[in-house]
Structure 1
Amino acid sequence: MKIGIIGLGQMGRPIALNLLKAEGDLLVVGRSGAVTTEFEQLGAAVSTDPAALAEVDAIFTCLPNGKVVGNLLFGEGNLTGLLRPGHIVVDLGTTGYLETLDIARRLTDQGVKFLDAPISGMASRAREGSLTLMCGGERDTFESMRGIFSSFASKMLYMGKVGNGQLTKLINQILFNVNAAALAEILPLSAKLELDPDLIGEVINSGTGRSFASEFFIPRILSDDFSQGYPMNAAYKDLVSCARIASEMCVPLPVTAAATASYQMTMLRGYGSGDKGSMVKAFEDLLCVQFRSAATASALDRTEEGVA
């Protein structure tokens, strides 16, 4: 089976590298530059024209949002018009549920098979090939792709009908967002109480307050590093999608709504280009404190003195 992938960002690039390593025959589509040159040197076929994807059997999209996916498939280039019946399109990105249903319907009308297969895990897990993949669509199509999925995912879950992959990813992401928002509130509180940030981090990550969010973000917050996770501006779509679904179903989500407010407050204060750990900055500003390790705080003080 010939495979193509479009979208070579934070997650797409390592996924493509693992696909190339496992499958050998890979078409990579992206803007010309260092990344496409890298794949060309590694032996992949490279194109800057999305229409080239019509020559492969299975297309992976790892794009920022559903609007971009829709534009690729049905927009100016109308890639769907070039696809043949039996062609497979796999959306690895985070696309809205309703957008996913529309994409699936339009592809199915053309005889093209579609899987919504969003992934969970940071870029490090993408590099390791140990992502979690949640898939919606026809089971036979999922099973036909399982071996290929295994090149970048160690856990592959068939969730049922089309759209269920995105809904499953959304549930997981919202829980992660709520955890990150809770950390953003409580860590500055501990600093306001003049508790040692390093020790607080140690207690949380060895106690009952521990979560994946705390294990990932606390060490990075302590070292003043807010660049390792997905940018908040790009990830905000998950909260929007959840609010839309909950509103249509008349489901109250008060904790999620509170986390969304923290998220919005952080972006409005100009921290949206950072990862979700950046939410701590909004509450640090409010309380006039910083939750940093002693060594990091000292280094920041010296930097500020030098600037002054």
Structure 2
Amino acid sequence: MKQRIGYIGLGLMGKPIAHNIMKAGFPLTVHNRSRAPVEELVAEGAELADSPRAVAEASDVVFTNLPDSPDVEQVVLGPNGVIEGCRPGMVFIDNSTIKPETARSIASKLAEVEVSALDAPVSGGDVGAKAGTLAIMVGGPRDTFDSILPIFQAMGKTITYVGESGAGQVAKACNQIMVAAQMVAMGELLLLAQKSGVDPRRVIDAIQGGAAQCWALDVKPQRLFAGERQPGFKAYMQHKDLG
């Protein structure tokens, strides 16, 4: 029988990740502050929980995907939080991008109630979340990582055990440095091409096959050229990640 999964935080990344977990056949219980994404997943077969504690009570593995360190601390350790609904032997996994020291602190507190924790931030944007092709970088006990691997495989393609608790968050910080550099460079080169009277589309075609090839050039320009302005990630979150 497959493990029962709980997912808390159904934003740009969380909702498609939760959808893919359920699509892979895992029973799913969800919780989110706003109701619209919850209702979408419930319509697809998920169960609704009215608090993080209730999610934990209904699950064997609980995921969170939240904006920042204080949010994860509140949802996990606060009143009516995940920790209040946990049982020994459960697993907690955080897909958020937070401070490594926060990940370690939460893992330490959960260990006191015999719950194993993994920090498992993701990369690949909303496109990767929807397609199930995310990169997942994981910190925490290796045996817990091994036991959870089938769930990660429902979410992503590049799944890497980085090291002990907090190591996944360190890897994500490194990832964000590279992504930020790519995005700034992409904006500058598109502007340079346009101001120089050269078709930016042809410039992208010309440089994608060379040393400039990167994720930002593979994914972003075509969306911009098509007039798509719906963000796959938000600037204030990138600023937070780099802080």
TM-score by length of 2: 0.90
Q: How far has the Cα of 1:205 moved from its partner?
A: 2.2
How do 1:21-60 residues align onto structure 2 when only pairs under 5 Å count?
A: 21-31=23-33, 33-55=35-57, 56-60=59-63
* Mapped pair 1:138 → 2:141: yes
State the secondary structure of the residue aligned to 1:76.
coil
Q: For structure 1, which runs of at least 5 residues remain unmatched after alignment? A: 241-308
Q: Identify if the C-alpha distance between structure 1 residues 236 and 194 changes in structure 2 by more than 3 Å, giving closer, same or farther.
A: same
Q: How far has the Cα of 1:202 moved from its partner?
A: 2.1
How do 1:223-234 residues align onto structure 2 when only pairs under 5 Å count?
A: 223-234=226-237
CA distance in 2 between counterparts of 1:40 and 1:218 reads: 34
The structure number with the bigger radius of gyration is: 1
CA distance in 2 between counterparts of 1:152 and 1:53 reads: 20
What is residue 16 of structure 1 aligned with on the other side? 18
State the secondary structure of the residue aligned to 2:154.
coil
Corresponding pairs, count = 240
**Aligned mate of 2:201, from 198, 202, 205:** 198
Q: Identify if the C-alpha distance between structure 1 residues 218 and 38 changes in structure 2 by more than 3 Å, giving closer, same or farther.
A: closer
User: 1:103-141 deviations in whole A, cap 9, x for unaligned?
Assistant: 122222232210001111122222222222111100111
State the secondary structure of the residue aligned to 1:230.
coil
Higher RCO by CA contacts (8 Å cutoff, separation 6 or greater): 2
User: 1:261-280 deviations in whole A, cap 9, x for unaligned?
Assistant: xxxxxxxxxxxxxxxxxxxx
Q: How far has the Cα of 1:208 moved from its partner?
A: 2.7
**Aligned mate of 1:73, from 71, 76, 90:** 76
CA distance in 2 between counterparts of 1:156 and 1:173 reads: 17
What is residue 118 of structure 2 aligned with on the other side? 115
CA distance in 2 between counterparts of 1:4 and 1:36 reads: 12
TM-score by length of 1: 0.72
Q: Which amino acid aligns with 2:237?
A: A
What is residue 126 of structure 1 aligned with on the other side? 129
Q: For structure 2, which runs of at least 5 residues remain unmatched after alignment? A: none
Tell me if structure 1 keeps the 8 A contact 2:52–2:76.
no
Q: How far has the Cα of 1:224 moved from its partner?
A: 4.2
Q: Identify if the C-alpha distance between structure 1 residues 112 and 209 changes in structure 2 by more than 3 Å, giving closer, same or farther.
A: same
Tell me if structure 2 keeps the 8 A contact 1:32–1:48.
no
How do 1:1-308 residues align onto structure 2 when only pairs under 5 Å count?
A: 1-31=3-33, 33-55=35-57, 56-240=59-243
CA distance in 2 between counterparts of 1:122 and 1:220 reads: 13
State the secondary structure of the residue aligned to 1:201.
helix
- Provide runs of 4+ in structure 1 moved above 4 Å: none
Q: How far has the Cα of 1:24 moved from its partner?
A: 3.8
User: 1:208-244 deviations in whole A, cap 9, x for unaligned?
Assistant: 322211222222333443324201112211211xxxx
